[in-house]
Amino acid sequence: MRWTDYITPSTLHLTPFVELLLGPLASVDGLVQLQLGLHEALVNAVRHGNGCDPAKCLRVRRILTPRWVVWQVQDQGVGVSPQQRLGGLPDCLDAPCGRGIFLIHHCFDDVRWSSRGNRLQVAILRSRLSGRDPGSPDP
């Protein structure tokens, strides 16, 4: 087991990158949920972390362990405050932000932040994924 590292410019053109990050899981049930969760994590990193600055980069790491599939999303920003990491919905439904972290918490089994708050780690239990084993080679 080894981490796979990816670095990409900080833009909102994220669909191909999400597909790349989910490559080993392309045949599992629940893929849409993982796409949504990763997309939200990346959008938050681009918008809130890197301020939509294309000169900045996102670093994503992925590892497939016997029990978990884990991604770490890191931006170059100052980080999310501990109060904003909780994952509840905003009090005002018209609030311009706050739903992304709520969705992330509902798409993954484990959500953790670095102490600084600019690296988000999300993980899903492999036992929740059905279809082709995400650790097996392609036929």
pLDDT score, position 138: 39
Quickly state the pLDDT bin for 137 (edges 50, 70, 90). very low
Q: How far is Cα 34 from Cα 15, in angstroms, rounded to an integer?
A: 12
pLDDT score, position 80: 84
- In this prediction the pTM is 0.87
Ordered domains of the chain (ranges, CATH): 4-128 (3.30.565.10)
pLDDT score, position 131: 58
pLDDT score, position 28: 85
Task: List pLDDT tens digits, range 55-96.
Answer: 999 999 999 999 999 999 999 999 988 777 777 776 777 766
